[in-house]
Amino acid sequence: MSKIFYVTTLALMFQLPLLAQNKAIEIDSVMNFAYHNGAFNGTIMVVAQGEIIYHKAFGFADLKSKELLKTSSAFYLGSLSKQFTTMAIMLLKEQDKISYSDRLVRYFPEFPEYAHEITIKQLMNHTSGLTDYYEAGAFRPGFINDDVLKFLIQQPSLDFAPGEKYSYSNSAYVVLSMIVEQVAGMPFRTFIEKNIFNPLGMNSTTVIDQSSPKIKHQARGFNVIGEADDYNAFTTGGGGMFSTTEDLYLWDEALRSNKLVCQDALEEAFTPTILNDGHVSNYGYGWMIEYSDQAKAVYHTGSLAGFRAYIYKNLTDQNTIIMLTNNGEANAIKAIGKSLQDILSGSGNGGLRLPVSLKLLKLSENNPIDDVIDTYFNLKKKSRNEFDLSEKQLNTFGHMLLMKQHEQEALSIFRLNLQEHTKIINPNE
């Protein structure tokens, strides 16, 4: 990390009110702990009551070349893109060009009869019943929207009747982006740029399709053991976007101030879905919804190739956390996110229990496996509150070693796991 940026970060911290300064210092402690234990490689921004109180980059934009990340680095967003797709639909609705109750077959009459009752609203809230093409194993490098459409039309049936239950479907969001193109009469990327990115000044955010421009300051994706794992498709709607923490702050600011659509439209997007049988699904239009301690929050994660992304908006307190990463599962963003939420709300001390698998993996790069195991026992004695030392974590570490083709070391960890977590049954009890 550059010394210049570190000084800038400190200057930002100490221009803040005292309470915000204290929170920024706590956040920095958590993030440094995560980074130095191999659990975060990316950029992070924290917003408290609309003001940026923390913004920093940790680690590498390219693990191979050792190019350092900047706060302006652009990452693949994965499913964070879905909130922009639903915003495109919301904009068209406010222009009276579309209705949430419109049927899918109005735009794609080639769908079999079993899909004729699917509405745009059900596509947005994942209750359409359309099979997820990723889960079905249909994805391949270079996939485009037409490939997804062909796959869907060839399916013998829906997974369930529309509105019957919630089931996450990337397919539904690809179809939504294609509906936007039909209604707007222009490519999805062009519509998003003209109606969202350009008005908000999101100049570093790009929709990836076959004609998209080169991405500036692009972070490269790697998996948990450091192998190249970059984004390699051209589908839009469910994913297909690169952005920065700086641009996502502009997006967050627009959602706070109703710059794009009216408050009623946003409130509907942030409202749980009622299923056919009256049960509730806590997914709105491109956002997951969470209630806790009289507060309401919306959030989403993104995960594909070596990229992991996270945005959390507390609608009650107007706090936001944005994290963008490029080192696969070597990023404990959910655990970090929970810790930072506690700091912002004052409901906890921000304590962070990191996956011990990541700590041990980092140690194994330069140390023999016996030393790594000794470290595990030391952590067990002295750092139980800092690390998740569960059976699952040791098993995960063993599989990471197998990915690196370190079979003997992996066997040592699997034996350790059996030793540590196999319950001995007393026949006399």
- pLDDT tens-digit map of 32-53: 999 998 999 999 999 998 899 9
User: Is residue 15 over pLDDT 90?
Assistant: no
Q: Mean pLDDT lowest for which of 133-147, 342-356, 390-404?
A: 342-356
Q: What integer pLDDT is reported at residue 1 of this predicted model?
A: 39
pTM higher than 0.85, yes or no? yes
- At 389, list the tokens: 């030392």
Contacts of 5 (CB under 8 A, 6+ apart): 56, 57, 70, 71
Superfamily of domain 78-345: DD-peptidase/beta-lactamase superfamily (3.40.710.10)
Query: Percent of the chain at pLDDT above 70?
Result: 94
Burial label for 171, CB within 10 Å (0-12, 13-18, 19+), is: buried
Q: What integer pLDDT is reported at residue 424 of this predicted model?
A: 45
Q: Are 285 and 90 in contact (CB under 8 A)?
A: yes
Q: Model confidence at 346, in pLDDT bands (50, 70, 90)? A: confident
Q: Mean pLDDT lowest for which of 172-176, 183-187, 316-320?
A: 316-320
Q: What tens digit of pLDDT does each residue of 276-326 get?
A: 999 999 999 999 999 987 789 999 999 999 999 999 999 999 999 999 999
- At 323, list the tokens: 């994290």
Q: What tens digit of pLDDT does each residue of 358-390 get?
A: 999 989 999 999 999 999 999 999 888 889 999
φ, ψ for residue 235 (rounded to 5)? Answer: -75, 150
Output DSSP code: residue 366.
T
Neighbours of 245 (CB within 10 A): 27
User: Is residue 146 over pLDDT 80?
Assistant: yes
Q: Model confidence at 426, in pLDDT bands (50, 70, 90)? A: very low
Contacts of 172 (CB under 8 A, 6+ apart): 122, 123, 124, 126, 128, 130, 238
Q: Model confidence at 350, in pLDDT bands (50, 70, 90)? A: low
Q: What tens digit of pLDDT does each residue of 149-160 get?
A: 999 999 999 999
* Cα gap 243→381, rounded to integer Å: 42
Neighbours of 235 (CB within 10 A): 25
**Sequence-distant contacts of 8-17: CB under 8 A, at least 24 apart:** 9/54, 9/55, 9/56, 12/52, 12/53, 12/54, 12/55, 13/53, 13/54, 16/51, 16/53
Q: Where are the domains of the chain?
A: 78-345, 354-421
User: Is residue 348 over pLDDT 80?
Assistant: no
Alpha carbon dihedral 66, 68, 72, 73, in 10-degree steps, equals 20
Expressed in percent and rounded to 5, the helix, strand and coil fractions of the chain are 40, 15, 40
Q: What integer pLDDT is reported at residue 153 of this predicted model?
A: 96
Q: Model confidence at 209, in pLDDT bands (50, 70, 90)? A: confident
Q: Are 226 and 400 in contact (CB under 8 A)?
A: no
Q: What tens digit of pLDDT does each residue of 73-111 get?
A: 999 999 999 999 999 999 999 999 999 999 999 999 999
User: Is residue 140 over pLDDT 50?
Assistant: yes
Strand partners, 174: none
Output DSSP code: residue 218.
B
